[in-house]
Amino acid sequence: MKPTEGRRRVVIEEVQPSVDGGRYAAKRVIGDVVEVTAAIFGDGHDHVAGRLLYRHESDKEWCEARFEPLTNDLWQARFPVDRIGAWSFTIEAWVDHFDTWSHDLVKRLDAQPDPKEPTAQVLPQDIPLALRIGANLLEAAAERAEKTDAADAKRLTEAAAQLRHLADAKLPYYDSPMTLELESLVAKYPDMSFATRLDRELPLWVDRERARFSAWYELFPRSCSPVPGEHGTFRDVEARLPQIAAMGFDIVYLPPIHPIGVQYRKGKNNSVIAEPGDVGSPWAIGSAEGGHTSIHQQLGTMQDFEHLVKATQTHGMEIALDIAFQCSPDHPWVKQHPTWFTIRPDGSIQYAENPPKKYQDIYPLNFESKDWRGLWDALYGVFKFWVDHGVRVFRVDNPHTKALPFWEWCIAEMRKTHPEVIFLAEAFTRPHVMYSLAKAGYTQGYTYFTWRQTKSELQEYFEEICNPPVSDFFRPNVWPNTPDILHAQLQEPDPVKRRAVFQLRAVLAATLSANWGIYGPAFELCEWRPAKPAAGKTGSEEYLDSEKYQIREWNRSAPDSIAPLLTKLNRIRRENRALERNEHLVFHDAPNPQLLCYSKATADKSNVVLVVVNLDPANEQTAWLDLKLDALGLPWQGSFMVEDLVTGATYTWKNQWNYVALRQWEMPAHVFRVVRP
């Protein structure tokens, strides 16, 4: 089949950023300058040109930026994003006849024999003809300019007349009549008659700054009471806010705050039989008091919750609310909407299970329900309810067990009225599913960091998630522990090794990723006791006396607390812009499998942080680092200074090879700031 216009000779390919060919939006943050690259080329030797068209969803007109050549038919253009929300961009490219002519004219002029040379031969010249061709091109540009700028049209017409005058003069030798000013003027009015336009507009979603850079602190409100054994309240959480803010965290994450089911309530240590007074799991949501839009009465009232939200904001932080779309047998939806659940042949509702494990206190939702539309509306309504009560950050429990099309619709629907809302996906599942959630709109996602322990595992994983194509849609949020996950490495009975393990994992999490978080009290106090001791690679990642099933008392003034280190790490993050982003993460060579060395830098290298971590909590490790000095913004020869931001010590280093020794009983990591020479 013939095209409708066969004179469009330019091809546009390999456009980036583009997620699945534009099926999903790439992600950026307000204030970013978006770099767009594309392969732009045509047949023969004619020059090509291109422009980037971009706009925010609220704009009626396109803005434009010119593409500049890189190498091998690759071009690049940039545009700033100054508003959150949906953006789009596309590309137009064309054969640039004037630029082709100008380039060829230079070659013709360079080939002229110098008439002053006595041996010069007078050769036939085609320069006057070339000048007339240029005049035609300028007159055509003047016609295009006339539509928008008469003054420019006049200048172009005058330039055309000058070329014709030169052509008529038939000089023995011609100097170049071209100027940069004239070339720029012509470029303002390109001939788009046969321009190729990309066959689609590529989407881009722009978030607020906290989407890229945040520090999360998770706590259970019911364990916040100053009275031992007493159920905590929102007011008790408020009393803790100054401490959390002083530690440098900016998001206070609360597990579900809803009524907890009574039927099949879990007892302490995940016992299937609850004893009198057992408080149950907050994730078994729903009782006679209400469901996902109700508050557990022992925590306080809705007024108390709204007061907590505002109080958190006065400390420069935000509340993140856990949304877990599952129901206890007592949830009102079970009676009101039984079709939203899976009914077994005996008429009973299917509870959650992962054979042979059974979770009778939780009913999963059925996303193949005949009333799936009603279910979707109700779940969206949960988010809408809490947004109306001041929440702007959600941590979503197990989103990978819910229909992916639902998330794409739900998040897009929320963004129509509240584009500032942040969604964190708690999905420890297969990579394609995790990435699909990010493509569907999740702002951030949990990672495999907890289980990446060796040097090669860490380097390979972070190189994957911190670089395109993954980094265009997936923002990692790194957690060394959660209420569900006490990794075997943290289950260290020896106090010296245990402290080293918690410290090194904190340094890794806080510096490898711009977003990180901790299950607060347990991590700062180095809680290490598993429900079942690990045997090799088997065992339990559950905590003994897990806070998921009981109220815990935490002695935050304990002398072995690593809260001072966590505070220092958050301060280092805030004071060094290099740690606010992931895209300039570079790993350096350290010929020791127990030493991991990496750096982060701002784009202009004005701030550079270099981290060295001893991954062995039992032994001192040493190495001569082989630094990639260009990644540090340093010359390959000469000395420079590094300042350890954890200890305050300074060192003078020279060239690329430098010695380090990390002793686990002191501090298992260096966090250096490179001092500019």
Collect all residues with Cβ–Cβ distance below 8 Å to 542 and sequence separation of at least 6.
270, 484, 486, 530, 531, 532
Which letter does DSSP use for residue 485 in this model? Answer: B
The CA distance from 158 to 326, in Å, is: 75
The residues, any chain, with a CB within 8 Å of residue 227's CB and separated by 6 or more, are none
Catalytic position from the list 92, 236, 322, 397: 397
Residue 371 bears catalytic tag:
no
Please, is 465 exposed, middle or buried when counting C-beta atoms within 10 Å of its C-beta (0-12, 13-18, 19+)? Answer: buried
Contacts 24+ apart (CB under 8 A), 229-234: 229/551, 229/553, 230/551, 231/279, 231/298, 231/299, 231/551, 232/299, 232/551, 233/298, 233/299, 233/300, 233/304, 234/299, 234/300, 234/304, 234/305, 234/307, 234/308
Question: Cα separations (Å) of 595 from 380, 463, 584, 653?
Answer: 46, 17, 20, 18
426 is catalytic: yes
Name 272's Cβ contacts closer than 8 Å, sequence gap at least 6.
264, 266, 360
Residue 630, both tokens: 């260009």
User: Residue 403 corresponds to which tokens in the numbers above?
Assistant: 């229909």
Q: Are 626 and 587 in contact (CB under 8 A)?
A: no
Distance CA 307, CA 235 (A): 9
Nearest to 638 by CA among 624, 652, 650: 652
For residue 582, the SS3 value is coil
**What's the longest Cα–Cα distance across the chain?**
114
Q: CA 139 to CA 153: how far, in whole Å?
A: 9
Question: What is the bridge-based pairing of β-strands 214-218 and 251-254?
Answer: parallel
Q: In one letter, which amino acid is 368? A: E
Q: Which tokens belong to 568?
A: 């220092």
Q: What is the 3-state secondary structure (H, E, C) of 223-260?
A: HCCCCCCCCCCHHHHHHHHHHHHHCCCCEEEECCCCCE
CA 650 to chain centre: 32
How far CA 276 is from CA of 69, 184, 267, 284, 553, in Å, comes to 73, 82, 9, 17, 19
d(CA 629, CA 638): 11
Cα–Cα distance measured from residue 108 to residue 159, given in angstroms and rounded to the nearest whole number:
19
d(CA 336, CA 287): 13
Q: Are 109 and 127 in contact (CB under 8 A)?
A: yes
Pairing between strand 363-364 and 326-327?
antiparallel
Select which of 99, 322, 426, 541 is catalytic. Answer: 426
DSSP string, 508-552: HHHHH-SEEEEEHHHHHTT---BSS--BTTBS--SBTT-TTTS--
What is the C-alpha separation between 350 and 357, in angstroms, rounded?
Answer: 14
Bond from prior residue into 356 cis (ω within 30 degrees of 0): yes
Cβ neighbours of residue 666 closer than 8 Å, sequence gap 6 or more? none
> Looking at residue 91, what DSSP letter applies?
E
Residues belonging to the active site: 397, 426
